[in-house]
Amino acid sequence: MTRLFNDPAAFADEALEGFAAAHRRWVRPVTGGVVRAAATPAGQVAVVIGGGSGHYPAFSGLVGRGLAHGAAVGNVFASPSAQQIRSVARAAHGGAGVLLMYGNYAGDVLHFGQAAERLAADGVEARTYAVADDISSAAPDESAERRGIAGDLPVFKAAAAAAEQGRSLDEVLRVAERAGARTRSFGIAFSGCTLPGSDHPLFTVPEARMAVGLGIHGEPGIGEEALPTADDAARLLVETLLKELPEDVAAPDGQRAAVVLNGLGSVKYEELFVVYRKVAELLGEAGVEIVDPEVGELVTSFDMAGVSLTLTWLDEGLEALWRAPADTPAYRKGALGTPEPEDDERAPAEDARDTAVPPASDASREAAGTVLAALDAVAGIVEAHVEELGRIDAVAGDGDHGIGMRRGSTAARSAAAEARERGAGAGTVLHRAADAWADRAGGTSGALWGTILRSLGTALGDRDAPAAPRVAEGVTEASAAVRRLGGAEVGDKTMVDVLVPFADALTAATAEGVPLTEAWDRAADAATDAAAATARLLPRKGRARPHAEKSLGTPDAGAHSLALITRAVHGALLNHH
Amino acid sequence: MTRLFNDPAAFADEALEGFAAAHRRWVRPVTGGVVRAAATPAGQVAVVIGGGSGHYPAFSGLVGRGLAHGAAVGNVFASPSAQQIRSVARAAHGGAGVLLMYGNYAGDVLHFGQAAERLAADGVEARTYAVADDISSAAPDESAERRGIAGDLPVFKAAAAAAEQGRSLDEVLRVAERAGARTRSFGIAFSGCTLPGSDHPLFTVPEARMAVGLGIHGEPGIGEEALPTADDAARLLVETLLKELPEDVAAPDGQRAAVVLNGLGSVKYEELFVVYRKVAELLGEAGVEIVDPEVGELVTSFDMAGVSLTLTWLDEGLEALWRAPADTPAYRKGALGTPEPEDDERAPAEDARDTAVPPASDASREAAGTVLAALDAVAGIVEAHVEELGRIDAVAGDGDHGIGMRRGSTAARSAAAEARERGAGAGTVLHRAADAWADRAGGTSGALWGTILRSLGTALGDRDAPAAPRVAEGVTEASAAVRRLGGAEVGDKTMVDVLVPFADALTAATAEGVPLTEAWDRAADAATDAAAATARLLPRKGRARPHAEKSLGTPDAGAHSLALITRAVHGALLNHH
């Protein structure tokens, strides 16, 4: 929902004022909207776009060299008035006429039409063009009734680039018509936006559902379906658009197309990229060559959750116009002169891990079986506690401890199994598990668990059967390495609070000659007690957890998971011996 | 919430793949992340940035000329592993060393630190720098413990621009340190994000509240307050940052600063502009000169609702680096060579309405009082039905009919009152009201109501006392103009369905010699009946309302408001005579 405003009635005006203040290099405010900072060159057709507020970067964000000469900016979701449009057009006029461009909505059609008439009366030659790209909004035989959505961008750009080339008003209009006729969009939505000052959303979509073809102001769609996967969403978008090719395009194969994957506001960039991955694949399979794709927020609807796909089927002329440089507040292309050389070669994988394993003794290979069983138990206990670990971590951290531990322990188990299958000893199995954990888990816990497993592996090696004291030695080394790396000591409310007493207890018991499984049992008890004790501590001040008081009464997530793991490993040792 | 994904565990990898596919001109994928499409020039220090996924354009979107040479991309909200970082750094290395830069989080500090060690072992000279700009995350005397948020951008950019100038690794590190020491951010948040595959948000903020200093992964903030106005939010951000100047800055007055107003994901552009308007004003009052401000989404947290303000206090060297060109997927600056000339002059207002009014007869001036009373009644009845009109419109339209009618009728009343105060006759009062309505309301209804009032005003003029038949004539002309402009006829389920019978009934009654007030009463009855009848009609197919079936049983919003208004105007006529 829209939360930041002053008087809701002043929202659009204040937004325009702030926009202009932030973008003085590109635009200057005039009554009714903005025009380019520099005057339109004499003899150049001016392209003036416009529409309601709430769709940024449409429309003001698209004013600048290579794109619009001016934008008339209406109130929230309302067409600018004819008077506003006329004012902007007169300020943008370079003596060669004005093309007024806008999305095909009843209000815009009325006001831009009236503006064109008034401009003619003022002695300014004006033409109008309404973009009508949303194929869900009317059938093909009524395509003139379709709404304009993200197809605005390629159609505006084609016309503006043609104007920049010095073409006449009628030629620029013909370019707009050709680009419009070859531009199709289709969209899906998951939730609506709440306008400034309103206490309820403009429209809603049921939880876990998707509205197909819903308009960007909540105009009804053509159906409702279950929430798709990203790949299925991509398939729906691509297949629908490939069903309605422009009249002069016989088949997609061999065609070139500008592609715009547009987020409506709260479908965010990474989601768009996941969808685009499949869109690119499917278009490639259909034989379509993608030209200068745009994946981002080009026409929004406040924080509406939705996404649309636009294809502009290019001919040679349209392609040159689409690729032409532009420099506007929200759309810049062809920066720094020449494009960088393309180079699609993937750099050789730096971590192509040598899959061969070093030689190992039979004893160490047998011990590797125990190690694998232990890692199995680790992955199992983490899986069982993912949610709990996340919850605990969320008290003072970012709540991802459970997820990270799952990724790491699962990867470690796989890597260990692979190494063991190749005949690795205990040391190598632990080293491979260490690398996999650190590599896949990321985050703090990934680095620290990688270090723990690596220290243990180094202590065990691939030759000797791992005696209990050797295991204790490895754990002690792990403890020292974790303190060094993490910069924490006992009492800082971190995993160190558990790792140190665990290592101490294990060392003490093995020094007494207690066999490993039993010694581990005692040490695991010490670990459990220590983890419980961390709940009473104030956390170490520091990065990402500076708020001591909040976590009083909650154990540290890393300490808690370590204690759980020591206990689980004891179970594996019991079973395996 | 994050809705578009396939296997949540594959989200970050698939997003990176789609990102790279969409941005081949700028980047190429390597193991662990991306590097620039073109190789780092030999002898140039490589700046390698990185961090978890979910923060786009941080970090991959900032790779390209003038900015980073590579980005290591971790899993969702998790640091990339040392192995990933090492792989990206080796691919980006141009033989002159690597500066690793990242936000100051425990996991990143660990992994980037380990990567630097491994790179040294590989023979690649490496340094690290952690951005720590979030002043809410630790006290000034513990500033090294602070988290890194949107200050990443100016600090990365300063270092990268220095590298581009050919400076040595140690010099580039010193630039990073200087930029970091002069960069401060402060943020507020309204709601958390839901990670891909999770069924609940990572964190929440109570409805209508604001968390102050909340971290971008939900790390606890330093307080909670009521939701502020945009201006108050701006004031909190600016005042907090002005309280903690860098050591070598005595006072803000006379300083120059780079300003980044960053949206976290679902605080959208127009809201950011409204906030920026006040930020710029307050910084100006404090004597700070803003240099190349950025207002948009630079470091996000999926669709988290929040905003942060970053100031980098510039010296001459830092200013040149901040203004240097850059060309990356998400950050482009200095496009097309030379900047456009600045030109702050506001174009002369095109609609500076002549406030003088034409001469009018006493009779017409008296009638103007009745017109004003009627417009008062119109604004009143619209105000009382704003919500209802919005609801009706939302069935087949975009739900803004009530808001638009309110804006228009309020503006019309004010303009009419002003004109009457200056002694205008009925015709001029209606013309001024017509212009104000169309200009302020925008949208379809704005254009149509502007036309209705204008037709009436022309019929009444400023000379004669408006006889009842003349009023009927004006309404009939209005009806014809609306049909012409809107392209609708009776039966299309628009306001025409009400306007035509209203005009007919008024004409018939006045032709019979019925006095105006009574004739209007009869006509208003006809209008009310007609509005009710529109509920049974299928709407006209057309722009923004192509979905016939949905609105069966609901009247047309424009027809309904017209009927309400005719009835209210009758009340005003009764009272005024």
DSSP string, A371-401: HHHHHHHHHHHHHHTHHHHHHHHHHHS-S-H
A218 shares its domain with A321: yes
Q: What is the 3-state secondary structure (H, E, C) of B220-252?
A: CCCEEEECCCHHHHHHHHHHHHHHCCCCCCCCC
For the cut 60, the answer to whether the pLDDT of residue A439 exceeds it is: yes
Sign of CA dihedral A51, A53, A58, A63: positive
pLDDT at B550: 62
B323 shares its domain with B368: no
Q: Whole-angstrom Cα distance, residue B31 to residue B46?
A: 17
Average pLDDT estimate for B366-387: 94
Q: How many domains is chain B partitioned into structurally?
A: 2
Question: pLDDT averaged over chain A?
Answer: 91
Report the residue of B331, B543, B551 to disrupt the A interface, i.e. the one with the largest count of A CBs within 10 Å. Answer: B543
Task: Give residue for tokens 């088949």.
Answer: A251
Sign of CA dihedral B229, B231, B235, B241: positive
Q: Whole-angstrom Cα distance, residue B153 to residue B163?
A: 15
Q: Is residue A341 part of a domain?
A: no
Contacts of B140 in chain A (CB under 8 A): none
pLDDT at A335: 59
Question: pLDDT averaged over chain B?
Answer: 91
Give, as one character, the DSSP assignment of residue B565. Answer: H
B398 shares its domain with B256: no
How far away is chain B from the Cα of A368, in angstroms, using its nearest Cα?
A: 24
Using a 10 angstrom Cβ sphere, with 0-12 exposed, 13-18 middle and 19 or more buried, the burial of residue B436 is: buried
For residues A72 and A59, the answer to whether their CB atoms sit within 8 Å is yes
Q: What H or E segment, with its residue span, contains residue B190?
A: strand B183-191
For the cut 50, the answer to whether the pLDDT of residue B547 exceeds it is: no
B172 shares its domain with B23: yes
Q: Whole-angstrom Cα distance, residue B221 to residue B136?
A: 7
The domain in which residue A97 lies consists of: 8-193+210-330
Average pLDDT estimate for B239-267: 96
In this structure, are strands B46-53 and B98-103 parallel, antiparallel, or unpaired?
Answer: parallel
A366 shares its domain with A246: no
B219:A438 CB<8 A: no
Closest CB to A18 among B273, B333, B351: B273
Catalytic residue among A55, A69, A217, A385: A217
Q: Closest chain A residue to B209 measured between Cα atoms?
A: A3
Secondary-structure breakdown of chain A: helix, strand, coil percentages, each rounded to the nearest 5: 50, 15, 35
pLDDT at A338: 43
For the cut 80, the answer to whether the pLDDT of residue A108 exceeds it is: yes
Token pair, residue A474, equals 């490895």
B296 shares its domain with B396: no
Q: What percent of chain B has pLDDT over 90?
A: 75
B408 shares its domain with B466: yes
For the cut 70, the answer to whether the pLDDT of residue A361 exceeds it is: yes
Q: What is the dihedral of CA B315, B320, B322, B323, to 10 degrees?
A: 140
For the cut 50, the answer to whether the pLDDT of residue A547 exceeds it is: no
Token pair, residue B126, equals 């490496």
In this structure, are strands A70-76 and A98-103 parallel, antiparallel, or unpaired?
Answer: unpaired
Report the residue of A13, A274, A354, A407 to disrupt the B interface, i.e. the one with the largest count of B CBs within 10 Å. Answer: A274
Distances (CA, A) of A346 to B13, B37, B330: 15, 10, 22
Distances (CA, A) of A478 to A451, A472, A502, B562: 7, 10, 11, 79
How far away is chain B from the Cα of A426, in angstroms, using its nearest Cα?
A: 22
Q: Is residue B442 part of a domain?
A: yes
Closest CB to B268 among A28, A265, A446: A265
A236/B339: higher pLDDT: A236
Instruction: Find the CATH number of the domain harbouring B431.
Output: 1.25.40.340
Angle at the Cα of B69 from the Cα atoms of B67 and B72, rounded to 5 degrees: 110
Report the residue of A1, A2, A4, A271 to disrupt the B interface, i.e. the one with the largest count of B CBs within 10 Å. Answer: A4
Q: Closest chain B residue to A550 measured between Cα atoms?
A: B220
Give the contacts of B248 (CB within 8 A, at least 6 positions apart). Answer: none
Collapsed DSSP state (helix, strand, coil) of residue B30: strand
Q: Is residue B354 part of a domain?
A: no
Token pair, residue B416, equals 């009419």
What residues pair up with A63 in beta bridges, in sequence order?
A68
pLDDT at B549: 54
Collapsed DSSP state (helix, strand, coil) of residue A296: strand
B84:A439 CB<8 A: yes
pLDDT tier, A550 (very low <50, low <70, confident <90, very high otherwise): low
pLDDT tier, B419 (very low <50, low <70, confident <90, very high otherwise): very high
pLDDT tier, B551 (very low <50, low <70, confident <90, very high otherwise): low
Number of residues that this document lists for chain B:
577
Q: Closest chain B residue to A7 measured between Cα atoms?
A: B229
Identity of the highest mean pLDDT range in A339-348, B217-226, B294-303:
B294-303
Q: Which amino acid belongs to residue B168? A: S
Sign of CA dihedral B67, B68, B73, B74: negative
A382 shares its domain with A325: no
Q: Is residue B78 part of a domain?
A: yes
pLDDT at B391: 87
Give, as one character, the DSSP assignment of residue B29. Answer: E
B277 CA to centre of own chain? 12
A34 shares its domain with A135: yes
pLDDT at B238: 98
A145:B231 CB<8 A: no
Among A58-62, A257-261, A276-280, B437-441, name the one with the lowest average pLDDT.
B437-441
Contacts of A346 in chain B (CB under 8 A): 28-30
Closest CB to A21 among B276, B339, B397: B276
Q: What percent of chain A has pLDDT over 70?
A: 94
Q: Is residue B356 part of a domain?
A: no
Average pLDDT estimate for B493-507: 94
How far away is chain A from the Cα of B305, in angstroms, using its nearest Cα?
A: 9
Q: Is residue A490 part of a domain?
A: yes
How far away is chain B from the Cα of A420, in angstroms, using its nearest Cα?
A: 22
Identity of the highest mean pLDDT range in A436-440, B261-265, B481-485:
B261-265
Query: Which of A330, A352, A382 delimits the end of a domain?
Result: A330
What tens digit of pLDDT does each residue of B148-200 get? 999 999 999 999 999 999 999 999 999 999 999 999 999 999 998 888 988 88
Instruction: Find the CATH number of the domain harbouring A85.
Output: 3.40.50.10440
Active site residue ranges of B = 217
Query: Which of A275, A307, A330 delimits the end of a domain?
Result: A330
pLDDT at A451: 92
pLDDT tier, A354 (very low <50, low <70, confident <90, very high otherwise): low
Burial B97-125 (b: 16+ CB within 10 A, else e): bbbbbbbbbbbbbbbbbbbbebbeeeebb
Q: Which amino acid belongs to residue A513? A: G
For residues A193 and A201, the answer to whether their CB atoms sit within 8 Å is yes
Q: Is residue A569 part of a domain?
A: yes
Distances (CA, A) of A307 to A85, A264, A280, B557: 29, 6, 15, 29
For residues B38 and B91, the answer to whether their CB atoms sit within 8 Å is no
Using a 10 angstrom Cβ sphere, with 0-12 exposed, 13-18 middle and 19 or more buried, the burial of residue B355 is: exposed
pLDDT at A79: 92
Q: Closest chain B residue to A482 measured between Cα atoms?
A: B110
For the cut 50, the answer to whether the pLDDT of residue B546 exceeds it is: no
pLDDT at A543: 46
pLDDT at B220: 79
A443 shares its domain with A322: no
B266 shares its domain with B400: no
B266 shares its domain with B368: no
Pick from A323, A311, A304, A204: nearest CA to A263 = A304
Closest CB to B106 among A219, A444, A550: A444
Q: Is residue A81 part of a domain?
A: yes
Angle, nearest 10°, between helix axes A401-421 and A362-384?
150
Average pLDDT estimate for A6-30: 95
Contacts of A222 in chain B (CB under 8 A): 547
Contacts of A102 in chain B (CB under 8 A): none
